[in-house]
Amino acid sequence: MKKYLKYGMMGIIAVIISAIIFPSHPKEESCSPRAYEEIVQSGVLHAVTEYNSISYHAQEDTIGGLHYELLHAFAKAKGLKVKITPEMSIEKRLQGILNGTYDILGNNVLVSSDRTDSILFTHPILLSRQVLVQRKPQNENDSTPIKSLLELAHKTVHIVKGSPYILRIQHLSNEIGDTIYIQEIERYGQEQLLAMVANGDIDYAICDENIAQAAIHNMPQLDIETPISFTQFYSWGVNKKNITLLDSLNGWLETYKQTEAFQELIKKYTLN
């Protein structure tokens, strides 16, 4: 029970931080995205991100994260303030973009064709892939770790609810010609799944490699060496109606990605 309480505390910490630092949030009843011109007039950019080691996190009294710093860099370049809301639920982040609550989906968003009907992707920010998270063998008789994706047949993998990784597992199941069971986890994010595997509560999970690499130094018992996808593009997202904001973001990214400041951020928060 203590383990699950710990995961729950990890999951709600983002809400606590958000309430303390940003007590005023955009109204949930918003029904349409703001054009870039409206954002400029208001002076405030609203972004939503995920609470994890890569995107947004708290360490003692400091807020950090790759996407946290990138969002601030973009806002500063445009003369704007930025309010960033950490949200663990993938579905709530997407819904907030669709209903205009947030202007930017500012975390590692996998560029996938199944989402192009609802959001527009910026130019790529990172390259990453999905990996299988499992424990290293405890002894020579430990049969839990798998060495080939074929061995996932009839195994259960845990994935954050609403994740595009679910589609990859479905495709992988077809590729190996056997069933891979999927358990969607609603309350936790990817780092909580890593902790659950490390503590033996579940055996297998799917996670973004960058997030896994950032967390594994605290969980040396984990094995994250088995990729389940090719390297793919990860971007930010905006509402499909917000072309002007997309153009502004892309123009800024084209320039900023060439700077030493961007390269330093990548080195700071990822191992790529």
149 and 178 housed in the same domain: yes
DSSP for 27-64, written as a single string: -TT--SPPPHHHHHHHTEEEEEE--BTTTBEEETTEEE
85 and 216 housed in the same domain: no
258 and 179 housed in the same domain: no
How far is it, in rounded angstroms, from Cα 264 to Cα 224?
A: 25
- CATH classification of the domain holding 189: 3.40.190.10
Mutual orientation of helices 243-256 and 66-77 as an angle, nearest 10°?
100
Query: How many domains in the chain?
Result: 2
SS3 content of the chain, % helix, strand, coil (to 5): 40, 25, 35
Q: Determine, yes or no, domain membership for 1.
A: no
Per-residue model confidence as pLDDT tens for the chain (272 residues): 344 334 444 444 444 444 444 444 444 445 688 999 999 999 999 999 999 989 999 887 889 999 999 999 999 999 999 999 999 999 999 999 999 999 999 999 998 777 777 899 999 999 999 999 999 998 877 778 999 999 999 999 999 999 999 999 999 999 999 999 999 998 889 999 999 999 999 999 999 999 999 888 889 999 999 999 999 999 999 999 999 999 999 999 999 999 999 999 999 998 65
Q: At residue 264, what are phi and psi to the nearest 5 degrees? A: -65, -40
Q: Which two tokens stand for residue 114?
A: 């199944």
Q: Which residues pair with 205 in a beta bridge?
A: 133, 158
Torsion of CA 83, 54, 195, 142, to 10 degrees: 160
Q: What range does the domain containing 49 cover?
A: 11-127+232-269
25 and 64 housed in the same domain: yes
Amino acid identity, residue 1?
M
34 and 67 housed in the same domain: yes
Amino acid identity, residue 38?
E
